[in-house]
A and B are shown apart, each in its own frame.
Chain A
């Protein structure tokens, strides 16, 4: 299957296109010509449900419980550590709300999503080479088609940074489509990996000579990268975080096995999909519980016995904090973060549960009242007027969690309140205890994936956004399988790594 197939989902450009920010783009040059308007809206999955008015005392007690040393911070053997940051990368691709604050209630309908609610990698591609030319490489062939990679960059003090990095200005700020993808050295390098994947795909298309015009190469490459990334979301990310059973329920194979179906019970829209605040403000924040406090970035040399070299591990903060030049000591070997053939299983994420690691309670460079991420999540949920977990569970016909499952014995001051109405984010983290359920003989450890409420919200919104995007493979070519980059109908993050890093021709 040749790359030309990648054009199926695109609508041919017609006449002048007005790009975001009002720039006039000549015909044929706007990389997103003919697509839906780039911005999106937020909305609600359950508009009829009342807001959960969590009291300050309840929030205090939940935060204290999450930070408590009583909580076990345990590895999740099912989810490699890289999925935490892949999840964040996906989030930054589909949502960006810089406007809502923690200081006032928010009218959800008035919120603007500054990202397109599509898996289109606008965080990587920006608005294209005409509107954001600084994201593109104008010195390699074909000009303005590859994305810029930072190499031998010079900072404001004249120091040369040899490490391959995101492109940065002299002050070290990344020149990328979404500033949040520089928040940590891990997501910055994941962003870089997708830049490199795009550039390899461009090279392949250009060398193959089947596509001759630079803008056609860009379109074909961008579409191939997007569709392969979407495949990862559907086939690797969603099953990992919501569990195979929920993934199959929302994304069943067609009866004849020829196409991927999408079955949505709760996520409905009129014209274009939107981002439900129950997803962005609560359910999708499950990834915060997967964060480790330290990471092993490189695999130590092979050895045996206690003489083996041991990787010391690197603390997330301050060592892996972002918005700065990458240094040699934070360069990642990706087989430590994703399951790559031939390498030992990578370090894993933490269980999806209410145990949050210490560094997330004291974020660097945050104002004193915003340094606790769990507190911010809970307060944002109140401002967004999110419904309680119990009400959402009832709307989904799921049995509500018990007092014990909500851990309320450790929250005496707000036990009664939370038993009736627990903040949705907290509820979803508690609910993972039900995800695996009791084994025949012995109760298995919970938290390996999301439970029925959180899992359904996450699976339906991610799958729904893909189905509603007329340029996605799920909408425009559901039987499509990834073969153009040399894979045999499957594609995983391991393939991204190997292709982007030139380990596979």
Chain B
């Protein structure tokens, strides 16, 4: 089994980006939330990196989040996730290279 949590797909649809992922189903009972960030390098030197972020609105796996894509474009990116639990109060963070697809 691949490491979990894990991103499985990232895609653009119109002005939004959708991020899909999986968590350990058995560990979701104390889940506080999952926040995700997707980042691509700046378009030009000196400009800030392109970053979009959102929150997973469900405590189910597989999960998905949809949010404004900002300046993201199709292509390589890095996604970061923060999965926060309450018992004990803790967080799992993970970073993953992803390919943003155009739907």
Interface residue ranges, A against B (CB under 8 Å) = 69-75, 77, 292-296, 299-300, 303-306, 308-313, 344-345, 347-348, 350, 442, 445
What are 27 residue pairs bridging A and B, where the CB atoms are less than 8 Å apart in the complex? A71-B1, A72-B1, A72-B2, A73-B22, A74-B20, A75-B63, A77-B9, A77-B11, A77-B18, A77-B20, A292-B60, A294-B25, A294-B61, A299-B57, A300-B57, A306-B33, A306-B35, A306-B55, A306-B84, A310-B31, A310-B57, A310-B59, A311-B58, A345-B13, A345-B16, A347-B58, A348-B64
Cβ distance A195 to chain B, nearest Cβ, rounded Å: 28
Cβ–Cβ < 8 Å partners of A304 in chain B? 55
Asked whether A350 lies within 8 Å of B62 as measured between CB atoms, the reply is: yes
Per the bound structure, the CA–CA distance linking A77 and B18 in Å amounts to 9
Q: Give CA–CA (A442, B76) in the complex, Å.
A: 11
Kindly state whether residue B28 has any CB partner on chain A within 8 Å.
yes
User: What number of residue pairs across chains A and B have CB atoms under 8 A from each other?
Assistant: 91
The verdict on B32 contacting chain A, using a C-beta distance below 8 Å, is: yes
Q: Which residues of A contact B25 (CB under 8 A)?
A: 73, 293-294
Closest 3 A-B residue pairs measured CB to CB?
Answer: A75-B62, A313-B60, A296-B58
Alpha-carbon separation in the docked complex, A268 to B64 (Å): 42
Determine whether the beta carbon of A347 is less than 8 Å from that of B1. Answer: no
- CB nearest to B32 among chain A residues: A306
Task: Kindly state the separation between the CA atoms of A70 and B16 in the bound complex, as whole angstroms.
Answer: 32
Q: Nearest residue in B to A301 (C-beta to C-beta)?
A: B57
B96 at the interface (CB under 8 A from A): no
8 more contacts with CB within 8 A, not counting A75-B8, A77-B103, are A74-B8, A75-B21, A292-B60, A294-B60, A296-B60, A311-B57, A311-B59, A344-B16
Determine the chain B residues whose CB is within 8 A of the CB of A308 once the complex forms.
33, 55, 57
| Chain B residues near A75 (CB-CB < 8 A) | 8-9, 20-22, 62-64
A-facing mask of B9-29, CB < 8 A → 1, else 0? 101010010101110010010
Cβ contact of B22, chosen from A72, A303, A305, A313, cutoff 8 A:
A72
Complex-state Cα separation, A306 to B103, whole angstroms: 27
- What is the chain B residue whose CB lies nearest that of A78? B103
Give the chain B neighbours of A347 by CB distance below 8 A. Answer: 58, 60, 63-64
| Smallest beta-carbon distance A329→chain B, Å | 15
Q: Which residues of A contact B66 (CB under 8 A)?
A: 344-345
**Within 8 Å CB of B64, what residues of A?**
75, 77, 345, 347-348
Which residue of chain A has the shortest Cβ distance to B20 in the bound complex? A75
The smallest beta-carbon distance between B59 and chain A, in angstroms, is: 5
From residue A387, how far is it (CB to closest CB) to chain B in Å? 33
A442 / chain B contacts, CB cutoff of 8 Å: 99
CB <8 Å contact, B2 and A313: no
Write out the residue numbers on chain A whose beta carbons fall within 8 Å of the beta carbon of B1: 69-72
Closest Cβ–Cβ distance, residue A84 to chain B (whole Å):
13
Name which of B11, B33, B59, B62 has the most chain A CB atoms within 10 A of its CB. Answer: B62
Complex Cα gap A306–B57 (Å): 10
Distance A8 CA – B15 CA, assembled complex (angstroms) = 43
A313 touches B8 (CB 8 A): no
Closest CB of chain B to A57's CB: distance in Å?
25
Interface pair A310/B8, CB less than 8 Å apart: no
Question: A313, B58: Cβ atoms under 8 Å?
Answer: yes
Which among B28, B57, B62 is the interface contact of A73 at CB below 8 angstroms? Answer: B62
Point out the residues of chain B lying under 8 angstroms from A77, CB to CB. Answer: 9, 11, 18, 20, 64, 103
